[in-house]
Chain A
Amino acid sequence: MLYSILIYGTEGLVEKLSPEEREALFGKHRHLQATMREQGKLGPVVQLMPTTTAVTIRGGGKAPLVTDGPYTETKEALLGVYIIECGSLDEAIEAAKLLPLDVGTLEIRPVNWFGGEHLHAGA
């Protein structure tokens, strides 16, 4: 079985930590990555850019509506994630519009850092 781990937290908090505290925090990330990688069980790992870089796409009647900022409705659940490579934000928005918009909202958030491995799901 593949599992995803989703990380939630207050923005701007990590920058306020002391270098030692930040190092301890990143150390835990590196530890998990190393542990899973050794066993061949590490998939993609991404660190996202701040939400100020995000746009949100809603199914808006005839044409999808693109607004600035992240998706903030906390009563809805995160259902899935894509990582795609695009030459520009416009390209990413066009790609996202290919997805069904009548049953969900999409947020596009650029990736700050991409790591991890390619994983072949067993089943």
Chain B
Amino acid sequence: MADTGWIGAALAAARPRAVGALMRHFRDIDRAEDAFQEACVRALRAWPDNGPPADPTAWLIFVGRNVAIDDLRRTSRLGPLAEDHDVAVQPDMEGYLDDRDYRDDVLRLLFVCCHPDLSVTDQLALALKIVAGLSVQEIARAFLVAPKAMEQRITRAKRRVGAAGLPFETPSTAERTQRLAAVTKMIYLMFNEGYASAGGDAHIRVALCDEAIRLLRLLLGLFPGQSEVMGLLALCLFQHSRHRARLDRNGALVSLEDQDRSLWDGVAIREGSVLIEKALRKASPGPYQIQAAIAGVHCAAASAADTDWREIDRLYAALQEFDPSPVVTLNRAVAVSKADGPAPALAMIEPLSQALDGYFYFHGARAALLEEIGRLDEARSAYETALTLCSNAVETALVEKRLAGLSKKIAVPVG
């Protein structure tokens, strides 16, 4: 029935706020999830006939709370309340709850998921389960593990978080800022987990990117002035806008240069651009905003040749100020090679050879620069080092192709 589908979507949209409020009320993740689940069951019974309530989120919190209290009374033998009283009552929530009330609830819900005792995968799985409301099957698919194993992981993670104690006092401004930073980073990792995947299963993991974007929209809706959240949302939108162009028909990764740009999602790119403009107005730059600006320059180019590499070089220089890491320098060198040629780029990355010795992309990029300059034997040796550091078949195929091209050059010298 089409109506039920619509209700399902409404329940999914209400979930983070409702579960967040219920967790504050019961101080227990499982109880909050169960209460929400039960409220959803009742919504599916009541809403098709009565239509959706004026404030579905408030309805779900109200009903979920009553059901759980009922349940508590039953188990403590105090006897149940009147049968089905909760469905009959339409709570008058007008002017009662707005986003200010949900802000800390949703933030807390996300924050307990990124508990430092948990591995990153466990953090992401927990957030997808509790906040996004994905099923264990869906999460297991996204992480390419068996549902049973994922279920155990999530149960263990919940127990650990519960044992560590949930942070229920209203956070101070400093704590709120710290929570926001932790949560934002967790969502960034969620996006990357989906984005970095390549090959045959990549389409499954697009779900991780979609959910990360949804969570960022939720977070930014609750904290509308946070320029780094704007930046990260813009970054994810720009990167995700290319997802249909990133894989060819055989599931192999297509480089940015070779992508069919007509497959890029213009709607996502426009939204990302607006968010970057909004963030810039706040004059409070940060690493996510700068990375988004870099991705935005790529998205704005009609063809690879039209890319404004000088602007990208300038933005990487700004990013180095925030994050002076060898990987950022390596990325900047790529922009420099496009703008000024391979020699200055190579000079820029040679000092990184120790720091990035075990890094596939370093040897790949160095090899490409050496090849461009014409130092072909050194290029071959660098490609061969890169080949030993590939982490998946797509990377291996890419390097092998370059090596094959190089062999031809060496065998048949031009000129």
| Interface residues, chain A, with chain B CB atoms under 8 Å away | 10-18, 21, 24, 49-53, 55, 66-69, 72, 75, 88-90, 110, 112-113
Contact yes or no, B277 A89, CB < 8 A: yes
User: Per a CB cutoff under 8 Å, which of B5, B270, B274, B277 touches A21?
Assistant: B5
CA–CA, A38 to B95, complex, Å? 43
CA–CA, A50 to B272, complex, Å? 11
Closest 3 CB pairs of A and B: A69-B224, A16-B9, A68-B224
CA–CA, A94 to B238, complex, Å? 27
The verdict on B98 contacting chain A, using a C-beta distance below 8 Å, is: yes
CA–CA, A21 to B14, complex, Å? 19
On chain B, the residues within 8 Å of A68 by CB distance are 224-225, 230, 278, 282
Contact yes or no, A69 B225, CB < 8 A: yes
Known contacts: A21-B5, A50-B271. The answer to whether A16 contacts B12 by CB under 8 A is yes
Known contacts: A13-B9, A14-B9, A110-B270. The answer to whether A72 contacts B98 by CB under 8 A is yes
Report the interface size for chain B: residues with CB under 8 A from the other chain: 32
Contact yes or no, B217 A52, CB < 8 A: yes
Q: How far is the CB of B217 from chain A (nearest CB, A)?
A: 5
On chain A, the residues within 8 Å of B275 by CB distance are 52-53
On chain B, the residues within 8 Å of A69 by CB distance are 221, 224-225
Contact yes or no, A16 B271, CB < 8 A: no
On chain B, the residues within 8 Å of A75 by CB distance are 95
- Of the A-B pairs whose beta carbons lie under 8 Å apart in the complex, a sample of 12, sorted by A's number, is A13-B9, A13-B12, A16-B9, A16-B12, A49-B270, A52-B233, A67-B225, A69-B221, A88-B277, A89-B278, A110-B270, A112-B267
CA–CA, A49 to B221, complex, Å? 13
The verdict on B341 contacting chain A, using a C-beta distance below 8 Å, is: no
Q: How far is the CB of B43 from chain A (nearest CB, A)?
A: 13
Contact yes or no, B278 A55, CB < 8 A: yes
User: Per a CB cutoff under 8 Å, which of B13, B56, B224, B233 touches A12?
Assistant: B13
Contact yes or no, B277 A17, CB < 8 A: no
On chain A, the residues within 8 Å of B12 by CB distance are 13, 16
The verdict on B214 contacting chain A, using a C-beta distance below 8 Å, is: yes
Contact yes or no, A21 B271, CB < 8 A: no
Contact yes or no, B278 A11, CB < 8 A: no
On chain B, the residues within 8 Å of A90 by CB distance are 277, 281
The verdict on B220 contacting chain A, using a C-beta distance below 8 Å, is: yes
Contact yes or no, A13 B98, CB < 8 A: no
Q: How far is the CB of A106 from chain B (nearest CB, A)?
A: 15
Contact yes or no, B278 A53, CB < 8 A: yes
The verdict on B8 contacting chain A, using a C-beta distance below 8 Å, is: yes
In chain B, positions 1-32 with a C-beta closer than 8 Å to chain A are: 2, 5-6, 8-10, 12-14
On chain B, the residues within 8 Å of A110 by CB distance are 270-271, 274
On chain B, the residues within 8 Å of A11 by CB distance are 13, 217, 221
On chain B, the residues within 8 Å of A51 by CB distance are 221
Contact with A along B226-237 (1 / 0, CB 8 A): 000010010000
Known contacts: A13-B10, A72-B99, A90-B277. The answer to whether A18 contacts B271 by CB under 8 A is no
CA–CA, A110 to B175, complex, Å? 33
Contact with A along B97-116 (1 / 0, CB 8 A): 01100000000000000000
The chain B residue with its CB closest to the CB of A50 is B217
User: Per a CB cutoff under 8 Å, which of A13, A50, A53, A66 touches B13?
Assistant: A13
11 extra interchain contacts, Cβ-Cβ under 8 A, other than A17-B9, A52-B233, A89-B278? Answer: A13-B9, A16-B12, A21-B2, A24-B2, A49-B270, A49-B274, A52-B221, A72-B98, A75-B95, A89-B277, A90-B281
CA–CA, A69 to B221, complex, Å? 7
Most B CB atoms within 10 A — which of A15, A49, A52?
A52
Known contacts: A12-B13, A69-B224. The answer to whether A89 contacts B5 by CB under 8 A is no
Contact yes or no, A18 B278, CB < 8 A: no
